[in-house]
């Protein structure tokens, strides 16, 4: 049977889009290259739903940092020389967007979508009956130097002011190190090293993979179809209209095809002459299972300067972060992993003293990062739409992006302004 919609990619974004469409009565097929759903970037991310971190990574000054990284200077984003040729066009656009005005414009648009989406994820978690027992405690950002703290406060103040324009504005509380340690006692050992902290009560921790598994269950319950081990090789067109995709085995047709292939999304579009300015930015996580006791940390904690996060997830503790521009290079670089463990030691020396690298489950994923830091959501050609490019915000924006695209495709009024995410923007 030819479904109304056919979604390529079963990560957070593809599954959320499918669920939103099925809830609106459409028929949906998902095509996934891997042997199962959500085994790529949605598998072991930092597990934080964080509208407060909606600012794109190409803030003013990022060019200097990236250049420095080539010569070995410490930087939250590293650029590998070998990746330079394939990154050139994207890289230039990425830097061109690093002006204060453009960065703020993207931050505002992202924040609105992220705040809307994080409320929606909570509703969906109830609908999907996800009972992981996690409390919505909020998120704590800690700072070890005054310039990063000041920069983050300034942005937070702006978002609080802007937040008043929408229903659920950003809430934040500024703290000193002692106050942060009062909230999260596991930080007591390092409270004297902190110049400050920001507590965001509306952010929360939640496991993205658990969410994907629950979405799959409900998608199947609602009559959706999921084909795994099936790679979309190219688009099938008829007179300029996309009528489906060719896979290695057969052609699969649908009224509308939606590309949600994460960092791989731009490949399929090339044949149509549609160019999404999107590149992979690699990140790692290290998960220690069964290492939690009564005194273990409870809050997700972000170290903004290092682009790293530590999230307690049930009986596990996950450290995630690093941003490496290296194409789709899957090598595990010790240089990028050791700082993760070191960061855990720097934040929670007591917890970390009994842990070694070999005990952790190592994972890496490729964030689909757009050159202007905003996702691409909408139609790109007759019969073809995209939902991708969510960078470091894909978990947070998943439900909201799914609903946004479903409403756009079905011609229903959108709660959010979808214009900033127009995939055909320059
Ligand atoms: C270290 C790290 C930490 C992160 N932490 C957070 C966080 O705390 N909060 C947050 O909001 N975000 C976080 N993110 C970002 C978030 O994980 C991603 O934005 C999100 O997972 C992207 O989802 P996706 O569905 O677009 O892509 P993916 O999960 O990569 O899914 C794309 C799917 O498409 C499939 N596919 C690709 N090509 C084809 C093809 N041709 N045919 C069929 N199938 C295909 C792939 O196999 C894959 O399953 C983090 C990312 C990383 C790397």
pLDDT by residue (tens digit) across 239-263?
A: 999 999 999 889 999 999 999 999 9
Q: Is the CB of 40 under 6 A from ligand 1?
A: yes
Residue 67: band (very low, low, confident or very high) from pLDDT cuts 50, 70, 90 = low
Dump pLDDT digits (tens) for 84-96: 777 778 888 998 9
Instruction: Dig out the tokens for 319 from the structure.
Output: 């450290």
Mean pLDDT of 395-422: 96
The predicted pLDDT at position 248 comes to: 86
Ligand 1 atom with the smallest distance to the CA of 393 is: 11
pLDDT at 361 over 90: yes
139 pLDDT band, cuts 50/70/90, is very high
Six token digits for residue 245: 């995709």
Nearest atom of ligand 1 to the alpha carbon of 268: 41
Q: Which of 12, 36, 16, 42 is nearest to 28 (CA)?
A: 16
Residue 69's pLDDT band (boundaries 50, 70, 90)? low
pLDDT score recorded for residue 34 = 98
**Confidence check: pLDDT of 167 > 60:** no
- Rounded to two decimals, the pTM is 0.96
> Do the beta carbons of residue 174 and residue 198 sit within 8 Å?
yes
Of 265, 281, 395, 400, the one to substitute when testing ligand 1's pocket (max ligand atoms within 8 A of C-beta) is: 395
How buried is residue 298: exposed, middle or buried, by Cβ count under 10 Å (0-12/13-18/19+)? Answer: middle
What tokens appear for 105 in the block?
């414009």
Confidence at residue 163, expressed as pLDDT on a 0 to 100 scale: 61
Which pLDDT band holds residue 168 (cuts at 50, 70, 90)?
low
Choosing from 394, 400, 401, 421 the residue with most ligand 1 atoms within 8 A of its CB, the one to mutate for a pocket test is 394
Q: Which atom of ligand 1 is nearest to the CA of 392?
A: 15
Q: What is the tens place of the pLDDT at every residue in 201-237?
A: 999 999 999 999 999 999 999 999 999 999 999 999 9
pLDDT above 90 coverage of the chain, percent: 73
Is the CB–ligand 1 distance for residue 6 below 6 Å?
no
pLDDT at 164: 53
Residue nearest to atom 37 of ligand 1 (CA): 261
Q: Which of 2-16, 49-63, 80-94, 130-144 has the highest mean pLDDT?
A: 2-16
User: Sorting pLDDT into bands at 50, 70 and 90, what band is 61?
Assistant: confident
Whether 154 contacts 192, CB under 8 Å: no
Q: How far is the CA of 238 from the centre of ligand 1 (A)?
A: 30
pLDDT of residue 109: 94
pLDDT digits (tens, 9 = 90+) for 27-43: 999 999 999 999 999 99
Give Cα 153 distance to the centre of its chain. 22
- Give backbone dihedrals phi and psi of 223, rounded to 5 degrees, phi first: 95, 5
pLDDT in tens, 123-134: 999 999 998 878
For 217-292, strand residue ranges (E) read 225-227, 232-238, 241-247, 251-253, 256-259, 278-288
For a mutational test of ligand 1's pocket, the pick from 34, 45, 286, 307, i.e. the residue with the most ligand atoms closer than 8 A to its C-beta, is: 45
Confidence of residue 72 (pLDDT cuts 50, 70, 90): low
- Joined together, the tokens standing for residue 204 give 């929360």
Task: Kindly give the distance from the C-alpha atom of residue 410 to the centroid of ligand 1, in angstroms, as a whole number.
Answer: 25
Distance 169 CA to ligand 1 centre (A): 27
Whether the CB-CB separation of 339 and 305 falls below 8 Å is answered with no
Higher pLDDT, 387 or 68: 387
Residue 30, CA atoms < 13 Å, CB-side half-sphere = 31
pLDDT more than 70, % of the chain: 94
pLDDT tens digits along 321-342: 888 888 898 887 777 777 788 8
Contact 214, 16 (CB under 8 A): no
Task: Copy the structure tokens of residue 10.
Answer: 């079963």
The pLDDT of residue 341 is: 87
First to last CA, the chain: 37
pLDDT band at 71 (very low <50, low <70, confident <90, very high): low
Q: Is 196 helix (H, G, I), strand (E, B) or coil?
A: strand
- Nearest C-alpha to atom 27 of ligand 1 is from which residue? 262
pLDDT at 378 over 90: yes
> Is 46 close to ligand 1, i.e. is its CB under 6 Å away?
yes
**Is residue 393 within 6 Å of ligand 1 at its C-beta?**
yes
pLDDT attached to residue 414: 84
pLDDT at 276 over 60: yes
């Amino acid at each position: 049977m030819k479904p109304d919609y056919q979604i390529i990619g079963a990560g957070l974004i593809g599954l959320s889009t499918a669920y939103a469409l099925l809830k609106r009565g459409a028929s949906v097929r998902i095509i996934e290259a891997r042997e199962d759903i959500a085994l790529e970037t949605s598998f072991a991310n930092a597990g934080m739903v964080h509208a407060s971190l909606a600012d794109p990574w190409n803030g003013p000054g990022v060019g200097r940092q990236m250049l420095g990284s080539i010569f070995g200077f410490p930087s939250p984003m590293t650029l590998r020389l070998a990746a330079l040729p394939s990154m050139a066009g994207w890289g230039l656009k990425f830097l061109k967007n690093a002006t204060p005005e453009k960065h703020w414009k993207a931050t505002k648009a992202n924040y609105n979508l992220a705040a809307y989406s994080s409320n929606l994820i909570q509703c969906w978690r109830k609908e999907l009956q996800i009972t992981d027992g996690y409390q919505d405690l909020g998120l704590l950002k800690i700072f070890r130097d005054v310039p990063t703290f000041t920069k983050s406060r300034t942005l937070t103040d702006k978002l609080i002011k802007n937040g008043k324009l929408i229903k659920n504005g950003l809430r934040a509380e500024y703290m000193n190190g002692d106050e942060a340690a009062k909230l999260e006692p596991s930080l007591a050992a390092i409270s004297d090293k902190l110049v400050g902290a920001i507590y965001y009560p509306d952010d929360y921790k939640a496991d993205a993979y658990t969410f994907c598994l629950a979405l799959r269950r409900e998608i199947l319950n609602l009559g959706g179809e999921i084909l795994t081990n099936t790679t979309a090789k190219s688009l099938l067109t008829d007179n300029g209209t996309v009528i489906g995709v060719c896979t290695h085995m057969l052609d699969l047709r649908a009224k509308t095809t939606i590309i949600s292939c994460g960092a791989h999304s731009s490949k399929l579009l090339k044949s149509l002459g549609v160019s999404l300015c999107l590149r992979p930015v690699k990140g790692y996580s290290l998960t220690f299972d069964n290492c939690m006791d009564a005194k273990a940390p409870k809050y997700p904690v972000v170290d903004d300067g290092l682009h790293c996060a530590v999230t307690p997830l049930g009986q596990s503790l996950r450290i995630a972060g690093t941003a490496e521009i290296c194409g789709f290079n899957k090598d595990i670089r010790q240089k990028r992993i050791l700082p993760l463990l070191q960061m855990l030691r720097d934040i929670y020396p007591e917890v970390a003293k009994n842990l070694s690298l070999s005990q952790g489950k190592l994972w890496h994923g490729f964030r689909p990062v757009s050159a202007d830091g905003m996702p691409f959501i909408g139609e790109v050609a007759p019969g073809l739409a995209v939902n991708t490019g969510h960078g470091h915000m894909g978990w947070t924006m998943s439900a909201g992006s799914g609903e946004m695209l479903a409403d756009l495709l079905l011609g229903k009024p959108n709660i959010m302004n979808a214009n900033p995410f127009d995939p055909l923007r320059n």
